[in-house]
Amino acid sequence: MAALAAQALAVAPVKPVANVFTPRRAQRPAARAVVRCQTTLAPVDYIQQVPETLLRPGIDDPSSMRGRFEQMIRGIQKQVCSAIEEVDGNTFRQDAWTRPGGGGGITRVMQEGNVWEKAGVAVSVVYGTMPAEAYRVAVGKDIPFDKEDRVPFFAAGISSVMHPWNPHCPTMHFNYRYFETEDWKGIPGQWWFGGGTDITPNYIVEEDLKHFHGVYKAVCERHGYDYQKMKDDCDEYFQITHRGETRGLGGIIYEDLNDRDKEEIFKFATDTANHIVEAYVPIVKKHKTDPYSPRQKEWQQIRRGRYTEFNLVYDRGTIFGLKTGGRIESILMSLPITASWRYDYQVDPQGPEQKFLDVVRNAKAHNWA
């Protein structure tokens, strides 16, 4: 992961909570000037006017799956950001950008709001050629290739992470994408859908977990997909192997989905994306004003550290973005502003933090829906 070493990633340590019952607006630090820092690894050009489409004019058909998927994810970005702004009372900053290698994106981020410490929703439409090694990572299969091989591809996707201030409000992540490759080294062009939504609380609240998982179980059943398999796949994917625990408490995930007619899968992907707000926002509304102690805030920061470890070490999307020269600010948008790595951190063996650890160390044994 040499590319990661080049990034200046600053993660602040835990700070004492002066008064956990003070409204967040009063605790928020003064606004800081935005500095856009570009690296030689991933040059991008910012654009003032957001185009109607990021497809290639005269090459990509707007009525094709490429065009329809782009319109779907841009609609989801608007839907999710509007719901978050309504709860938080602040607005998202928007950056529209293009990349010399082909394509571009729209990144919306809200930092230091009233409810969310950091919330981001990014859309990208990218095309060009990618290193064969990145193709192997993307498909998750051991494909033989030469060092200089490059594979023509198209990718469109939306990704998001929401990190609330209150430790009783869960972090939430989602990612939905469509991918195509052209014929390469005798391998026919491929297409597939991928995606999922998962939740990362800091404490076990069964009612919340039943709501979140229940929403996605209903979506899966409506389209004839096996919720239990997608839930198990989610728990397996989000394993922090070196810790022996999952990043959070799951949801659904599907990879390389091309087992049906393309239209059927597109309808399923659209339905799953359309239920993000229903699955997540009511939980945040329920807990956003819950009182919390310095110990509970400290535990949240420890779990944020786990979140960061997974994203930088194991996440396929992060690795793919770095290997294909993606926009670093969008790739690392998922990281929290604050996190903590206290040495030899121990919890009360009879406390709620231990109960949480017991679950994430055996996530597949727990069914919430």
Query: pLDDT tens for residues 52-85?
Result: 899 988 888 999 999 999 999 999 999 999 999 9
Per-residue model confidence (pLDDT) at position 188: 75
Q: What is the dihedral of CA 329, 332, 334, 340, to 10 degrees?
A: -120
Per-residue model confidence (pLDDT) at position 118: 98
Span 45-365 CATH architecture: 3-Layer(aba) Sandwich (3.40)
Q: How far apart are CA 77 and CA 71, in angstroms?
A: 10
Q: Is residue 70 within 8 Å of 125, Cβ to Cβ?
A: yes
Start-end of H helices in the chain: 2-5, 24-27, 65-88, 132-139, 206-222, 227-237, 262-274, 276-287, 294-313, 316-323, 328-331, 352-360
Which residue do the tokens 């819950």 mark? 290
Catalytic residues: 173
Per-residue model confidence (pLDDT) at position 49: 82
The residue extents of the domains of the chain are 45-365
Give the strand pairing for 239-240 and 245-246: antiparallel
Residues of the chain with pLDDT under 70: 1-44, 101, 134-145, 324
